[in-house]
Structure 1
Amino acid sequence: MYSNMYDEETNFAGEFSGFSDKEIRLGFIRKVYGILLSQIAVTIAIMSIFIYVPAAKEYSYANPWLMIVAMVLTFGLLIALACCPDVRRSFPTNFILLGLFTLLEAFMLGVVSSHYDTEAVLMAVGITAVVSLALTIFAFQTRWDFTMMGGMLFVFLIVLFCFGILCAIIQSKFASLAYASLGALLFSAYLVFDTQMMMGGKHKYSISPEEYIFAALNLYLDIINLFLFILSIVGQARD
């Protein structure tokens, strides 16, 4: 599971002259969603291999070390993209690293999805798509400013992490279901938060127009984490 990581690039919206020009802001948003849709398409394609190709599923079961290597590499790439502004602003290095991160993340999601029924995975994908679209529209239309909630969301993330450790210890189905439900709610809020951070304008905080890789990474992680929690809820409900 990954959390949203923010650094010194997050500042007051008024400090960015790029957001004073509506055309630049709209171009930034289009670029972010173009990258995001490409990431989602690649992720779904790789997940489909693990869901519908038995040989790929069996190979992942027989070689669990691949999952460990993918997790380590993904974490390293996440740190490089989230904590190193020069790296994520350097073309084409930023796109190469983001592409590798997406491939590794898609591989891990494929392995996780292979442990669930195909119908449950498809239901989770559909629910995630509907929820993500609805929350995105809400973030663009609402007058509420969620960009001021970064600190509170981070605190909730820490609490959720501790609750997840407790659930792993006590092995309770009801606790696991509560954990998945709270996780889905938290990353739903994060999706609205990151969308408004990208929008700028009237919101108190925003991301620089140069940080299109960072913005796409945040939104991608929100959707992926939301999908994992929804998949857990659907899987437990079907059981």
Structure 2
Amino acid sequence: MSKTNLPPSYEESRQQSCDSQQLGNYPFPSYGYPVQTGHYTPPGQTGLWHGPGYPPASMPTMMPSYIGQGMFSSNLRDTDATSSTSVWESTSVRHAFIRKVYLILAAQLFITVSIIAVFAFVEPVRLFVVQNPAFYYASFPIYLATYISLVCCEGPRRRHPWNLILLFIFTLALSFMTGTISSYYDTKAVFLALGITAVVCVIVTLFSFQTKVDFTSCTGLLCVLSVVLLVTGIITSIVLSFQYVPWLHMLYGACGAVVFTLFLAYHTQLLMGKRANSISPEEYVYGALSLYVDIVEIFTFLLHVTGGVD
């Protein structure tokens, strides 16, 4: 056997190992790579091949933090941009919805205040509705039918322009009924109730938009208060039909004004979104209807407190 066929010496092996390191022949995982010569890693370090002279290596148990940042930072930026765009779009839609609701509400209140002013200042009209209460009772079925159609039926409430037509008829009916009720009270009491209602509505609206208290999560409490107010109203009506008690009349009016003030805060926060409960931006008719009924009820109950029957 010639000397060239002898195995390399220890120094030659070390030199070859150093040369392979300088050339970059590092161990590669076996997944998808060609098989390389070397020694197989013992169990517990499976999947790695090691060249001659390499100590056993092991895979890291966790992904390095810089790898995670490099892989996911762009995705996070895209996600943030998408979510911020979505939030911006939803916020703009919600603001447009709120503006539409309050524009409709302003038109409704203008009609109602105008009719109340006619009933309060025009004496022949006032005497006519007082002497002919049948017109008041005739307007009640119109009010009830349009109210049920708008609140309970999604089709008429969302179909344009029928939703606005029904809302206009409803506004006229409720305005006529409110004007008829105002005819039984002194003119000063009517305008005092109007002034207090305006102040209360502005304060409640600003408070509802600024406060962290979520009135939309108090649905059960408001339902209980509504039942209590209904029962109190029935008892008050029975008592007053036999004998007029001024303090009972005023107490019932104060309780009703407080309950519907809470309802006004509740329905205001339903428009805002980002609460326990909210309404869809498509429900602008329902939003305006709810606020309008609350404001009219507050005014009607305040009449019991501020005015005396002529």
**Pair 1:235 & 2:304 matched:** no
Candidates 277, 284, 291, aligned match of 1:212: 284
In the TM superposition, 1:1-40 aligns within 5 A as 21-40=90-109
Give the match for residue 189 of structure 1: 262
| Number of residue pairs matched by the alignment | 221
Give the match for residue 183 of structure 2: 114
Further displaced range: 72-81 or 62-71: 62-71
CA distance in 2 between partners of 1:205 and 1:138 (Å): 18
Further displaced range: 162-171 or 203-212: 162-171
2:214 corresponds to which letter in structure 1? D
Q: 1:62 Cα shift? A: 3.0
- Given that 1:18 and 1:209 are in contact with CA atoms closer than 8 Å, whether structure 2 keeps it comes out as no
Give the match for residue 143 of structure 1: 212
CA distance in 1 between partners of 2:88 and 2:289 (Å): 20
Q: 1:20 Cα shift? A: 6.3
Q: Considering fraction of residues, name the structure with more helix.
A: 1
Q: 1:19 Cα shift? A: 9.3
CA distance in 1 between partners of 2:98 and 2:143 (Å): 25
Q: Equivalent residue of 1:116, what SS?
A: coil
Q: Equivalent residue of 1:205, what SS?
A: coil
Give the match for residue 151 of structure 2: 82
Give the match for residue 226 of structure 1: 298
- Given that 2:150 and 2:166 are in contact with CA atoms closer than 8 Å, whether structure 1 keeps it comes out as yes
**Pair 1:180 & 2:257 matched:** no
- Given that 1:194 and 1:219 are in contact with CA atoms closer than 8 Å, whether structure 2 keeps it comes out as yes
**Pair 1:101 & 2:170 matched:** yes
Candidates 62, 71, 90, aligned match of 2:131: 62
2:223 corresponds to which letter in structure 1? F
Q: Equivalent residue of 1:125, what SS?
A: helix
**Pair 1:154 & 2:154 matched:** no
Q: 1:63 Cα shift? A: 2.2
TM-score of the superposed pair, with normalisation by structure 2: 0.69
CA distance in 1 between partners of 2:295 and 2:254 (Å): 15
CA deviations over 1:108-127 (Å, ceiling 9, x no partner): 11111111111111110000
Q: Which structure is richer in relative contact order (CA contacts within 8 A, separation 6 or more)?
A: 1
Q: Equivalent residue of 1:206, what SS?
A: coil
CA distance in 2 between partners of 1:58 and 1:116 (Å): 12
CA deviations over 1:179-204 (Å, ceiling 9, x no partner): 11111110110000000011102x11
CA distance in 1 between partners of 2:279 and 2:176 (Å): 29
2:125 corresponds to which letter in structure 1? A
Q: 1:154 Cα shift? A: 1.2
TM-score of the superposed pair, with normalisation by structure 1: 0.89
Candidates 199, 205, 216, aligned match of 2:272: 199
- Percent identity reads 41
- Given that 1:19 and 1:25 are in contact with CA atoms closer than 8 Å, whether structure 2 keeps it comes out as no
1:196 corresponds to which letter in structure 2? Q
- Given that 1:167 and 1:176 are in contact with CA atoms closer than 8 Å, whether structure 2 keeps it comes out as yes
CA distance in 1 between partners of 2:290 and 2:176 (Å): 19
